[in-house]
Structure 1
C-alpha cells in the first residue's frame, strides 16, 4: 500500500477498496485497517493526507459507534480512530510537519515562524496529539493479561503490532515538546507556562512507564529498540539544562521482518470467496491487465472528456450484454423447469443445477447494480467537472480580491504581532531585572573596580594632555622666536630694497595672523584641560555615590537573607510537627486495628469461625516479614527524620497483618486439640498486647527511640511453631510401593466402573421385564441417566490414565516411573485417594439405584450419591492436572471428560427429580370428603410435623458440619499433607 501511494501519488485506490470493507461490523478488521492507515499517514505519499481528510467525519462516526462496545476490540478501535483523526487535524494545521514527524531543529524553528504565539499554540497541539497516543498505549496494555506471555501469542501480537507506530510518533513528539518548552521559557515568564509544565510532567511519567513496560516484552525486543527516558524530567527553569537533553532515538533493525506482515495478510485474505468475487467484478469492469498492475491507475479528475465518454459507452454496452445474458438465463431456467416436470430419475441433478443458475443470476444482478452505480458516479463526476470549469473564472476573480484584502490584513496582523512581541520582551526584561537585582552586590563590586580603573585611565589621559599642551606651547614659543628673528632680518633688508619691503610687510601681517591663530589654539587647549578636570571631578562624585548606594543595597539584601533563614527555620519546625502528628495518627489507627482484632477474638459470634493451620502459617510468615521491614524503617527514621515516608506504609500493613494473624489463630484454635488450642489462643492474645504496647511507644515522642519490636516477633515465631504442630501428617506408605499402588487403584477404579455399568444394564433388563406404566418409565429414565454417568466416568478415568502417563514420561527423565511416583509422593497419594473415592462412589450409586428400582430406597439417596461421585471425579481431575502442562492435549481431553461427567450428573439429578414428581402425583391427597374440623386437625398435625422436621433438619446440618470437619482431618492424613511437599 505504501509503494502504491507513492506510485499513484495519492490514496484514492486505497479508499476505494476500504469503502467496500465491513469496518462497522468486524472489530478485528477495523483494528487492522487503523494500523494500515496509520502506516500510510506516516510513510505514504504526502497526498495521502489530502485524500483522507474528506473521510474524517466517517471515521468520527465509526469511533463513536465502536465506543459503545466495551468488550473485545470495541474500545481499542474507538480510541485508535480518535488518534487517527487527531493526527490528520494536526498535520492539516501544521503542513510543515511530515507524516513521520522527522524534522531538524532548523525546520522546527521555521514551523513556528520564530513567533512565540505560534510556538505556544504548537506546544498545546503537540500535548493533545501525545495524549491520544498515550491513551491508545494504556488501553492496549490494560486489555492484555500481563501475567502471561501475551506477546508470543497471535492475539497478543495483533494488539501490540500498531504500538510500533505509536512508539515512533511518541519519541518525536516528546523531543519536540522539550525543545519548544525550553524556547518558550526563554521568552515568557515561568508563571505563564505553569500549566504547560504540569501537563508535560504528567505525560512524561506515563510515557516513561509505557516505554519501560514495552521494552520488557519479547515481541518488541526482536523488532524495535525502544529508548529509555531519563530518571528525572528536564528542568525548564534552568536554560543550560537544554544541553543535557538527549533526543530519544527509536532503532528498527534492518534484518527484522515487518511486525505487521501477518495482520496485513489476514486483512487481505479474510474471505477468499468474497475476494474472488471482487476480483472478478474488477476484471470485468477494468480489464485483466488493469488488475495485474494495481498502481497503474489514472486519476479520475485527470481523465479527458473523450475518455469518459468512451468509458460510459463501454459500460452501456456491458450493461446491455448483461441484460441479454440475464434474459437467456431466464429462458434456460424455464427450460429446466419444463424438463424437471418429466418423470426422469435426475431430479436431484436438476435441483442442483437450478440452484447454481439462481446463484449465477444473483451474481449477474449484483454486477449489473455495481456497473449502474459506477455509471451514475461517472455522470456525476462529469457534471461536477463542468460546474467546476464554469466557476473557476469567478473563483479566480474572488481570489484576487481576497488576496488584496489578505495582504492588508496580514500587514495589520504583523503590526499587532510585533507590538505583542515587544510587550512580551519588556515583560521578560522586567523579570530578568528582578533576577539581576539578586546579583547586585557582586555587580556593584565589579562596577567599583571598573570605576577605579576608569579614574586611573582618566588621570593618565589628563597628564598626557598636559604634557602635550606644554609641548605645543614650547613649539609656539620657538616659532615666535623664529618669527621675530625673521622680522629682524626683514627689517634689516627693508632698507636695501623698497620693493621687497611691501612684500615683507604683507608677510609680517600674515605672520601676525598666524600668531593670533596659534594664541587662540592655545586658549582652546586650556579650556579643554579645564573641562577634563571638571569631568574627572564628576566621575569622582559619581564613584562615591555608587559606593554609598551599593552599601545600602548590600545591607538590604543581608536583611532579606536573615528573614528567609528565619522563615525556613519556622517551616522546618512546622514540618517536624506535621510529621509527628502524622506518625501519631497512623500509629493510633494501627493500634485501633489490633485492638479491634483482640475484641473480635472475644466476640461469641467468632466462635463458629474455623481455619486451617496452613492459612495460619501463611499469615504468620507475612506478618513476620512485615515486622522485619518495620524494624528497618524504624531504625532509618531514628537516624533521619526525613525517612517518615517508608515508616508509615509499614505501620499500616503491620497492623492489618497482625490483626489477620490473630483472627486466623483464633479460628484455627476452634478445630485444634484442647492443649494446643489453649496455647495458641494465649499466644495470640499476648502477641496482640505486645503489638499494642509497641504502637503506643511509637505514638509517644519520648519513647519512640526505645520502642522494641522483638517481643512481637518472638510471639509470631511461637505461633508459627504451634501452626507447624497442627498441620496434618501423611500416611505411612512405603515410597517404593506408591507406583504399584497407583496402577492398582486406577485398575480397580476402572473395574468398579465396568461392574457398575453391567449391574445397571442388568437392573434395566429386569425393570423392563417386571414393571409397567409410570414405574417402568421412571425406572428406565433413572437407569438410563445412571448408565450415561457411568460411561462419562469411564471416559474420564481413561483420560486421567493417559494424562498421568504423559506426566510421568515428561517429568521422570532417566528415572523409572516408580521412582517418579516415589519422588512426588504427595501427588501420588492424592491420585490414590481420588481413585478410591471414584470407585467407592460408583459402587454406592449403583446400590442406591438398585434400591430405588426395587422400591426400597429413596430418590434423595440417589441424588446425593450422584453428586458425591461427581465430587470424587472432580478430585481425580484436580489431582491429575496439578502437574500437567497447560497446553497438553490429554489435559484438554480430561477437562472435556470432566464437563461430560458434570452434565451426566445433572441428568441423573434431573431424572430423579422428574421421577419423584411423577410418583408423588399418584399419591396426592383427597380433601373432598373431610369436614372443617378434620381439616383443622390435619392442619395442626402438619404444623407439628413441620416443626419436628425443621428441628431434625437443624440437627442434621450440625451433624453434617461435624462430619465434614472430621472428613477434612482424615482426608489430610490420607492424602499426605506434609511440610516438605506441595500438592
Structure 2
C-alpha cells in the first residue's frame, strides 16, 4: 500500500461533499516529491470508485486538480490512462442520469478532461493551468497559421468549460449536498481564467505582428462572446457564498479589453507587449514613432537579443538623412514682376520663419531620438557587462568544480589502492590466525577430554565419600541398637539372679525355662550384630583407604594451573572468534550464491513455461486468423446461426476474456508459484469462444437485407478478430519481458482486455439491431418455462405420432420392401426425437440451476436482469420446436411419398443446428463442472449421434436406389472418351452454377424468412 493511498481514498469518499484540500494537496505534493504519478493512478484504480456516482465525480475533480497543480509528468501519465478516464463516463450509458443525478455530469466532465488532455498532447509547452511566459506567446505566434490554430483550440476548450459550468449550475440545488458539485467549479475557474489571459496575450501579439486585420476579425468576435460569457460565469460564482469563500473569483470589466492596442488594462495580469519607448530620463517632449517599424514582435525580440548594435546602425543614417533634408535650400519663390516689393517681402519673411520653426522642431525631435538611442545603447552595454561577469563567474565555478572533481577522483583512486593493500594484509593475517586457531582448537579439545576424565574421577570419589558417610550413619544406629540390647541383657541377668535366689528349688519351672530361652536368643542376636558391625567396620576402613588414595592422587595434580591454562585457551578462542565469524560470513556469501543460482534455475524454468504459453498463444492467433480468412472467403456458411445465438456466444467470449485476464495477471504476480496449466486452459477456452463468434458471422451477415448493414457487420467481425490477435500478440511473455515493472505488464494486459471488450461491445450493438425485440411479459420465468415445455410437448407428440405409424404399418400405401425401409427411417427419426426430448429436459434443469443460483431474489429478476440472454434462450427453444416439427412432418411425408430423402436430411441438419444454439445459450450462464452441464452436453452429443445415424441411413438408401452405370468405357475410342469427358465436365459446371444460384436464392429466402419470423415474434 502506497503512502498516498489513504489520501486518495479519503478524497474520493462516499460522502456527498467537496474533497478536502489537505487530501488533494497530499497527492499534488507527492507528485512533485517523487516526480511520478503512477502510484496515484494505481491506487485510484484499486479503489471501488466506479461503483458509486459520488466517488466517480470526486475522482474526476481530484484528477483535474492534479493535472493543474501537479508535476508535469502527471499530464503524460494521464494520457496513458485515458482509457480508464473514458470508462468513467460510460458507467450509466448515454442517457442514464444515475440514482443521485450525477450521470450526465460524469459524461460531460469526462468529455472536457479528454479534450484538455488532447490539447496538452498537441501543445506540450502549456502547463495544466495555462500559465504563460512571454516567449511562449511569441513562439506560438511566430508562425501566424500555427498561432491562429492554437488560439482556435484554446477557444474550443474555453467553450467546453462554459458548457460544463452551465450544466453544473443547472444541477445545483439549495441543500448542502450540492457542495460536491460546486467544488467542481474551482478548477474550472482557474482554468478558464488562465485560458482567457493566454488568448488575450496571443491575440494582441497577432494584431501586433499581422498586417491583415480582416483575417483576425472572426477571432476578435469570438473573443468578445467568450468575454461576455465569462463575465456572467464569474458573476454567478460570486453569488455563491460557499464558492467565493474558498476561492478568489476573478473580476472582469463589462466590455472586453481592446486587443488591437497595447495592454493598458490593469485588471489583467497579462504580459506587456514590448514597445519602442524612450528611457524615463528623457524629456517629456512627445516623441514620434520609430522610423523603421519591425515586421513582428518575434523579429523585434530576436534582433534586440542577438544584435543590439544593428538598430543603431539602421537609425543613424536616417537621422543624418533627416538633418540633410532640414538644411537643404528651399526652392526659390517665383515673384511676379507686376507685384510690388513691399507686398511680397512680408510673405517671404513669414515663410522663412515657418521653415525655421519647423527645422528647429525637427532638430529637437531628432536630438531626443538620438539621446534615447544612446541611452538604450548604454543600457545594452551595461547588460552585456553584467552577462560577461556572470559568464566569468560561471566559468570560474565550472573550473572549481572540475578541479574538485579531479581531486576527488585522485583521492578515491588513492583510497582504493590503500584499501587493496589493507585487504591483502588482512588476508595474510586471516590465514595465520586460521592456522593458529586450528592448532589451539586441537589442544583445547585434548585439555577438555583430560578435564572430563578428572571430573569423572572426582565424581567417583565423591560417591565413595557419600557411601562411607552412609555406612557411618548405619553403624551409629547399630551401636545404639546394640546398647539397647546390652541393657536388656543386663536387666534379664538381674531378673535371672533374682529368680534364682527366690526359687532355688523350682528350676524346672516353665517360666524359668522360657526366660532362659529368651536369654539365649538375645545372646545369639547380640553375636550376630557384633559380627555384622565388625564387617561394617572393615568395609569402612577399606573405603577410607580408597578415599585417601584418590585424595592423594587429586592433590598431586595442580588444579589451579590446569584452570589457568583452560582460561588462557578460552581467551585465545575468543580472539579467534572474529576469524570464525568471517568464515561464517563467507559461508553466507556462498549460500547467497547458491540461492542466486537457484533463482536463475527458477527463472530459466519460468522462461520455458513462458515459451510454452507463447506457443499456445501463437496457435490461438493462427486459428483466429484462419477463422477471419474463412469469414472473408466466398464459401457458404457451415451452419445456420441467429443474432440471438451470436449474442449468447459473445457474452461467453467476454466472460472467458475476463477469466483469462484475471488468471494471466495472477500468473504474472505469482511467478514461480503460479499455475501455467490454468493459463493454457483459459487461453483455449477464450480463443475457442472467439472462433465460434467469428464462424457465426458469415451466417448472420447473410441474414441482412441491407448492403451497408451487412458490410458494417463484416467490418465489426473482422475488427473483433484483429483486436483479439493484437491483444494475444501483446500479452506474449516475450513481449512483456521488455517492460520494466510488473505494474506496466499488468497495465498492458488490462488495456488489451479493455480494447477487446470494447470491440465486443460494438459488435453486440450491431447485432442488437438484428435481434427481434420480443414483447416481454412481467413473469419472464413463466414464459421461459412455457417455451421449453411447449418444445418438449411438441417433440413428445411427434414421437407418439411416429410410433403410431410404426405400430400400424397396414395403413401405409407402400410395398412390403418400402415398409421395411420406412420403419428403419421412422425408427431413426424416433430415436432422434427422443434424444431431442432428453436434451430439452436437460436444458430445463439447467435453467432451474442457473436462475436459482446467484445473488438474485427470484428467477424472474434473473431473467429480467439478463434480458438479451433470455431472448436468445427463448429464440433457441422456439427454433428447436419448429425444426423438430418440420422433421416429423418431413418423415411423414417421406413415408407417404410426398417428400424426398434430401428434405429429410435438411430437416435433420436443421434440428442439429437449433439444438447447438440451445446448448450454447444454456452453457453461457451455467457454472463450470456442474452435473447439469454434463447432462446437457451428453444430451447434445446424443442428438448429434442420432442425427448422423439418420443422415447415414438416408444416404445409404439413396445410394442403393441410384441407377448403376453399366457402360463399359473400355470399349470407347479415344475420341468418344474425350467427348464423354467434356460432356461430364459441362454437366458438372452446370450443376455447380445451379448450386451457386440455389445458395444465393437460399440466402435471400433466409433473409426474408428470418425477418418474417422476427415480426411474428
Output the TM-score relative to the length of structure 1: 0.32
Q: Which of the pair has more CA radius of gyration?
A: 2
